[in-house]
A = this chain, B = another copy of it.
Amino acid sequence: MKVKKKKALKTKSPKLTSSSTTKVSADQTHNQYRNILGSRYASPAMSAVFSERHRAEIWRDLWIILASEEQKLGLPISSAQVEALKKAKKDIDFDRIREIETKLKHDVMSHLKAYAEKAKEAEPIMHLGATSAFITDNADALLLKEGAVLILQKLGVILESLGSLMLTYKNLETTGFTHFQPAQPVTVGKRFALWAQDLLWDYEELEFALQRLEPLGCKGTTGTQASFAVLFKNDFKKVKALDDGVCKQMGFDRAVALSGQTLSRKVDVWFLQALANLGASFSKMSYDMRLLQHLREVTEPFAEKQIGSSAMPYKQNPMLAERITGLSRFLMGLSSNANWTFATQWLERSLDDSSNRRLTLPEAFLTADALCESAHRLLKGVQVHKTEIKNRIDIYAAQFETEALMMEGTLKGGSRQKIHEEIRQQMLKGKLNKKGIKYSLSGFASEQVQDFHKNILSPFLKSRKKSKGVSFNAAAI
């Protein structure tokens, strides 16, 4: 056994046609790596949630909230100081921040110093009692919430679309497929309903994550609130009031009961698994759509000018469905990070979470958002081809009848097992003919869809607030 020999590889530097440089030029957009989620697939709204500006502004909000709550509870902080913070809030100089960070190598302290430079009066009391995690973790809780709410809103719209589609097509019989071999007929509407059932369950899970989300609050360096014990002279009640008060100002009910330096990294898991599960449902839907598109029974929208293939001009490819398959795979792979991160944390905190979360959390939400965008576009323009559907049913009608015949035979006293074997033999010999039966080939598919819509989907959507103003990104490619 020998490894195929090849000539030695040249390890010269890659000849980059463009010159690389650390200088940020006007054209950096095209000269440096740009994540395609932000530039191509996800909506600007989700991209903004995970922008540097939004994060910086939330950080400043948290410094303001901390100072103002501490003031309320009696610490020597003046209203002028709080006001100074509020006034300087929007004045963010990112170049200055980066300049400081090059020295300190600590991002929260860099933002803090840059903010303090703009709100000099408040400088002595900023961040009082807090550690960096107060800023980063509470901000992340807000971002998780904002991201999740945006996804839920879009998911609500998608479920409404599916609700309409399932009712429209609940009676349209179509060939069922198990093992992707023809099987007893179902209805087109039933398939929309199955996708909806999966997505509704995902909605519940993301909601469950949101309901359980409690921010870090004010826990101090190792979660003991020791700094606040000093500031409030051992008054536990006041410290709890600060802890919950800050969280209420952030829009939550209360702070988490216990923490080390940070919120348990398990909280990330809740969100990333819920998003991964959503991705998996979209993946299942996309596989179904790709197979249906092969059958030409149900197809995704295809624009008149759209080009399927640069070489085969006749092609109409399931591009949206395939994109969904690909992105959901990315999302599912990404989300495993959260549990590995949590599972390997050490004692009150280890910082091996940080760089990973700065990639994983935004990209998971952006990918989930991109999936919602694509799924929405697909469903909005989905085409159902009745002739193609009917033709296929007709081909297999004789086979499809056999189940009803087997049931009728058993009712008349025959052995179910023997009839099964007789039919199988006829089929293998090619002697199976259509006989006509008095029952619907698709059984109660239509009734099931109606029941599901009436008793489960509709009440569910009604109990959630109307998702007014949810906008999908018409301009996306």
Partner of A20, one of B12, B45, B180, B437: B45
Chain B residues lying within 8 Å of A226, measured Cβ to Cβ, are 184-185, 403-404, 439-444
Which residue on chain B has the smallest CB distance to residue A442? B224
Please state if A102 and B48 are interface contacts (CB–CB under 8 Å): no
Q: Is A376 an interface residue (CB 8 A)?
A: no
Q: Is A211 an interface residue (CB 8 A)?
A: yes
Secondary structure call for the A interface: helix
Q: How far is the CA of A108 from the CA of B67 in the complex (A)?
A: 54
**CB proximity to B under 8 Å, residues A295-330:** 303-319, 322-323, 325-330
Chain B residues lying within 8 Å of A332, measured Cβ to Cβ, are 336, 339-340, 343
The verdict on A443 contacting B207 (CB below 8 Å), with A227-B403, A333-B336, A413-B124 known, is no
Can you name 12 extra interface pairs (CB under 8 A) apart from A197-B257, A227-B406, A326-B355? A1-B463, A11-B465, A13-B469, A17-B53, A35-B35, A102-B475, A106-B310, A179-B350, A183-B221, A287-B344, A326-B341, A333-B337
Chain B residues lying within 8 Å of A303, measured Cβ to Cβ, are 103, 105
Q: How far is the CA of A76 from the CA of B4 in the complex (A)?
A: 38
- Stretch of A80-88, A147-155, A383-391 with 4 or more beta carbons under 8 angstroms from chain B: A147-155
**CB proximity to B under 8 Å, residues A201-244:** 201, 204, 207-208, 210-212, 220-231, 234, 236, 239
Which residue on chain B has the smallest CB distance to residue A9? B1
Please state if B227 and A126 are interface contacts (CB–CB under 8 Å): no
Q: How far is the CA of A308 from the CA of B445 in the complex (A)?
A: 23
- Shortest CB–CB separation between residue A442 and chain B, in angstroms? 5
Q: How far is the CA of A334 from the CA of B227 in the complex (A)?
A: 40
Chain B residues lying within 8 Å of A204, measured Cβ to Cβ, are 3-4, 212
Q: Is A380 an interface residue (CB 8 A)?
A: no
Q: Is A294 an interface residue (CB 8 A)?
A: yes
Partner of A224, one of B190, B360, B464: B190
- Shortest CB–CB separation between residue A39 and chain B, in angstroms? 8
Q: How far is the CA of A231 from the CA of B307 in the complex (A)?
A: 23
Please state if B180 and A11 are interface contacts (CB–CB under 8 Å): no
Chain B residues lying within 8 Å of A249, measured Cβ to Cβ, are none
Chain B residues lying within 8 Å of A75, measured Cβ to Cβ, are 411
What 5 pairs across the A-B complex have the smallest Cβ distances? Answer: A226-B443, A20-B48, A224-B443, A14-B146, A131-B311
Which residue on chain B has the smallest CB distance to residue A339? B280
Chain B residues lying within 8 Å of A452, measured Cβ to Cβ, are 257-258
Please state if B211 and A124 are interface contacts (CB–CB under 8 Å): no
- Shortest CB–CB separation between residue A347 and chain B, in angstroms? 4
Copies of this chain in its oligomeric complex: 4
Q: How far is the CA of A414 from the CA of B45 in the complex (A)?
A: 42
Q: How far is the CA of A16 from the CA of B44 in the complex (A)?
A: 12
The verdict on A310 contacting B109 (CB below 8 Å), with A30-B94, A329-B340 known, is yes
22 A-B residue pairings within 8 Å (CB atoms) = A2-B8, A9-B211, A17-B54, A20-B47, A27-B53, A32-B44, A33-B35, A34-B35, A102-B475, A131-B310, A131-B311, A176-B348, A179-B349, A181-B315, A191-B347, A193-B258, A225-B443, A287-B344, A288-B346, A313-B424, A327-B355, A329-B352
Please state if A180 and B108 are interface contacts (CB–CB under 8 Å): no
Q: How far is the CA of A127 from the CA of B419 in the complex (A)?
A: 13
Which residue on chain B has the smallest CB distance to residue A6? B211
Chain B residues lying within 8 Å of A415, measured Cβ to Cβ, are 123-124
The interface bits of chain A over 98-128 (1 if a CB of B lies within 8 angstroms of the residue's CB, else 0) are 1001111110110011001000000111111
Please state if B18 and A44 are interface contacts (CB–CB under 8 Å): no
Chain B residues lying within 8 Å of A375, measured Cβ to Cβ, are none
The verdict on A208 contacting B208 (CB below 8 Å), with A311-B130, A411-B76 known, is yes
Chain B residues lying within 8 Å of A153, measured Cβ to Cβ, are 11, 13
The interface bits of chain A over 352-387 (1 if a CB of B lies within 8 angstroms of the residue's CB, else 0) are 111111111011001000000000000000000000
Please state if A180 and B310 are interface contacts (CB–CB under 8 Å): no
Partner of A355, one of B220, B330, B359: B330
Q: Is A467 an interface residue (CB 8 A)?
A: yes
Please state if A315 and B224 are interface contacts (CB–CB under 8 Å): no
Best-surrounded residue of A11, A41, A337 (most CB of chain B within 10 A): A11
